Amino acid sequence: MSTLPGIKQFDLTGRTGLITGCSKGLGEAMAACLASAGANVALVSRHEAEAQAAADAIAREFGHQAIGLGADVAREADVESMAERAIEALGHIDILINSAGINIRGSIDKLSLEEFDKVQRINVTGSWLCARALLPQMKERKAGRIINLASTLGLVGLANRTPYATSKGAVVQMTRALALEVADDGVTVNAICPGPFLTEMNVPIANTDEGKNFIVGATALKRWGELREIQGAAIFLASDAASYVTGSMLVVDGGWTAR
């Protein structure tokens, strides 16, 4: 076998991906990059019409099959139905990207238990449910890639983020534990840990002192990440280039955690 396959390692032609939370933002960007590398994709959002609109745009741009599905990833029945529909439409799912997530900010004394629980249900339980739903057919075929969206806040702390940091720390540990669990089944499990990207989630703090000084101002590159800058990490972890990578956290944060 040649030891110099080069760029062909990143070719996803003939593969299929399912991406949650992807009617916009990082999820949509990662769905587009999988399609650009040759994959057929299923885009999942709580709002099916938005997911389908994003899927239609990706299909037009890259010429590969793209479908939109509606599901609340925190609801077990929704996830099971979504997985069945995706497999029926695409035949199987090779790549799962768990990108659905929310962030509720505030000091612990100002947050309700319901708010804390909501973040855990979507960010943690949702990722767990989607992995559980799609793993059987990956195991059967002895091949699969699961990519969780953790965060730099799963690795370091930040004030007024207890729900989000707790959830992303859990995603980091879920990634490690599941990677060990399915290693013999031909499935790898990794996580991307994004830093400050100017998504809808971060727009409310973009022009605040916190956003300027403690988030963007604390990065080595002194700027917000651009959506395209998450795409290389997603293609890498989804591709043959990452065949010996599992249980890892790939940090894409402009140097925020380097300090």
Q: Which residues are catalytic?
A: 164
Closest CA to 21 of 74, 64, 94: 74
Distance CA 21, CA 51 (A): 9
Tell me which amino acid residue 152 is.
T
Backbone torsions φ then ψ of 127, nearest 5 degrees: -65, -40
Burial of 75 (0-12, 13-18, 19+ CB in 10 A): middle
DSSP string computed for the chain: --S--GGGGG--TT-EEEEES-SSHHHHHHHHHHHHTT-EEEEEESSHHHHHHHHHHHHHHH-S-EEEEE--TTSHHHHHHHHHHHHHHHS--SEEEE---------GGG--HHHHHHHHIIIIIHHHHHHHHHHHHHHHHT-EEEEEE--GGGTS--TT-HHHHHHHHHHHHHHHHHHHHTGGGTEEEEEEEE--B--TTTGGGTTSHIIIIIIGGGSSS-SPBPGGGGHHHHHHHHSGGGTT--S-EEEESTTGGG-
